[in-house]
């Protein structure tokens, strides 16, 4: 049986491989390295094979971001489920996910996608929809302005890290993390 016939029976495997290859290329070589040909070659498929799964490069990038957002959702939901305090639970999970991401493959993938988020309106809309949906879901626990400040500060650290030569802006990370988490505690909200 040829490799082509095996692939026809495993379209989810091929699609997953294309997503992983696109994310890895972006992480290793930057957003500009993610071309249809480069992703197809890295995944061991033809450009036509890639277009069978994704109608365009834009559709591929949107799928990569969607995949990263699904992974973040899973991580945040797991962190929320372990939190004993409802006030600020989403914000604490958001902060903890940000600080835990350092050193993981997903950090480099998110870094590359963040550059794309800045320049691609459809990707920004996806992010806005994701964060808006999460905030709507957690309005009762995370609607406080102080918690919004914590989330925006976390986003600011993320952006500063992206612009830093070594990918790590600011001072002592453990202290920054602790201060942000402390600001999410109900007793510190006033």
- Is 173 found in the same domain as 89? yes
On whether the CB atoms of residues 176 and 170 are closer than 8 A, the answer is yes
On whether the CB atoms of residues 66 and 124 are closer than 8 A, the answer is no
- Is 97 found in the same domain as 80? yes
- Is 98 found in the same domain as 170? yes
Bigger pLDDT: 100 vs 9: 100
- State the Cα–Cα distance between residues 174 and 172, nearest whole angstrom: 6
- Is 31 found in the same domain as 112? no
Q: Please report which residue ranges of 30-120 form alpha helices under DSSP H.
A: 36-43, 47-53, 57-81, 89-100, 105-119
pLDDT digits (tens, 9 = 90+) for 32-82: 888 999 999 999 999 999 999 999 999 999 999 999 999 999 999 999 999
- State the Cα–Cα distance between residues 108 and 64, nearest whole angstrom: 13
pLDDT digits (tens, 9 = 90+) for 86-127: 999 999 999 999 988 766 667 778 888 888 888 889 999 999
**Domain residue limits at 103:** 61-188
* Inter-CA distances, 88 with 55, 59, 135, 149, 150, Å: 40, 34, 11, 12, 10
- Is 31 found in the same domain as 66? no
- Is 126 found in the same domain as 46? no
- Is 161 found in the same domain as 77? yes
Q: What is the CATH number of the domain that holds 40?
A: 1.10.10.60
């Amino acid at each position: 049986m040829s490799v082509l016939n095996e692939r026809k029976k495993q379209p989810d495997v091929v699609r997953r491989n294309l997503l992983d290859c696109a994310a890895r290329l972006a992480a290793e070589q930057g957003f500009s390295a993610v071309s249809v040909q480069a992703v197809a070659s890295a995944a061991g498929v033809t450009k036509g094979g890639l277009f069978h799964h994704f109608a365009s490069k834009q559709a591929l990038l949107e799928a990569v971001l969607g995949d990263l957002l699904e992974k973040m959702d899973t991580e945040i939901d797991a962190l929320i489920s372990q939190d004993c305090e409802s006030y600020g639970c989403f914000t604490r999970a958001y902060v903890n996910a940000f600080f835990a991401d350092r050193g993981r493959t997903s950090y480099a993938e998110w870094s590359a996608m963040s550059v794309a988020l800045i320049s691609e309106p459809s990707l920004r809309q996806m992010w806005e929809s994701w964060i808006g949906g999460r905030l709507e879901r957690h309005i009762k626990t995370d609607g406080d302005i102080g918690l919004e400040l914590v989330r925006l500060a976390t986003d600011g650290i993320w952006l500063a890290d992206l612009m830093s030569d070594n990918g790590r802006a600011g001072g002592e990370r453990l202290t920054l993390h602790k201060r942000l988490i402390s600001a999410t505690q109900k007793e510190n909200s006033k």
